[in-house]
Amino acid sequence: RKEVEQDPGPFNVPEGATVAFNCTYSNSASQSFFWYRQDCRKEPKLLMSVYSSGNEDGRFTAQLNRASQYISLLIRDSKLSDSATYLCVVDTGGFKTIFGAGTRLFVKA
Amino acid sequence: DADVTQTPRNRITKTGKRIMLECSQTKGHDRMYWYRQDPGLGLRLIYYSFDVKDINKGEISDGYSVSRQAQAKFSLSLESAIPNQTALYFCATSDRRAQETQYFGPGTRLLVL
């Protein structure tokens, strides 16, 4: 089993749709969680950190469920510019950061 | 100007050749990393360095070596390149005070023939 698993997609959604991605992690001692965004052929960039209480940044909401060991990312009112690959990232502590393989999102007009 | 730069951006080489990828950063971060990205596998850590005198192997260090010449520079070498080292390579930096958020360079596309 991979330490961090994501549905690779692709998710194809129309503009304005709400879409959600999940990510599961295997190490229950994991301490920090993030979502990164990667555009085609570009470097990953931090989208948002994920806090235990959940957090929101505009149209983006991140949730953490420690009991079930998963994190989620919800995108509301999808824009064409949201088309990208979304990487789930888990810091297990001990200086070990694990990147998921990513979920591809295509938003179409 | 970009905070994390990588050179070269693209490189084609032959099996058995030695190649060096370079990374520089102006963010003042003490931690630097080298990753490779392959389709469907995500980013995998090759080496990381928490300061100039600290070098650590990552998940897939075999066939690679690194040098931390200064706080701002971290180089990755392939001593004898092989075709399965064809990949997209990223350098990243982080500040230990910032919850390990990592900042990536633009990447180097390497093709080993």
What is the mean pLDDT of the segment spanning B89-93?
97
Chain B residues contacting A via beta carbons under 8 Å: 35, 40-45, 48, 50, 56, 90, 99-107
pLDDT in the model for residue A95: 65
pLDDT in the model for residue A2: 81
Cβ contact, residue pair A43, B101, below 8 Å:
no
Cβ contact, residue pair B43, A34, below 8 Å:
no
Mean pLDDT (chain A) is 93
Chain B interface, best mutation among A2, A23, A43, A46, by max B CB count within 10 A:
A43
Higher-scoring residue by pLDDT: A97, B54: B54
Q: Spell out which residues of chain A touch residue B106, defining contact as CB-CB under 8 Å.
A: 42-43
Q: Amino acid identity of A107?
A: V
With 80 as the cut, is the pLDDT of residue B1 above it?
no
Q: Which string of b and e fits A41-77 if b means at least 16 CB within 10 Å?
A: eebbebbbbbeeeeeeeeebbbbbeeeeebbbbebee
**Closest CB from B42, B90, B107 relative to A100:** B42
Residue A86 vs residues A10, A72, A73, A79: alpha-carbon distances, Å: 11, 11, 9, 15
Determine the distance in angstroms separating the CA of B88 from the nearest CA of chain A, rounded to an integer. Answer: 9
Q: At B101, is the pLDDT very low, low, confident or very high (cuts 50, 70, 90)? A: confident
What is the mean pLDDT of the segment spanning A72-99?
91
Residues A38-61 have pLDDT tens digits of 999 899 999 999 988 889 999 999
Q: At A104, is the pLDDT very low, low, confident or very high (cuts 50, 70, 90)? A: very high
DSSP string, chain A: --SEEE----EEEETT--EEEEEEES-TT--EEEEEEE-TTS-EEEEEEE-TT-EEETTEEEEEETTTTEEEEEE-S--GGG-EEEEEEEEEETTEEEE---EEEEEE-
Q: At B27, is the pLDDT very low, low, confident or very high (cuts 50, 70, 90)? A: very high
Q: Spell out which residues of chain B touch residue A87, defining contact as CB-CB under 8 Å.
A: 42-43
Determine the distance in angstroms separating the CA of B109 from the nearest CA of chain A, rounded to an integer. Answer: 9
Phi and psi torsions of B85, nearest 5°: -95, 5
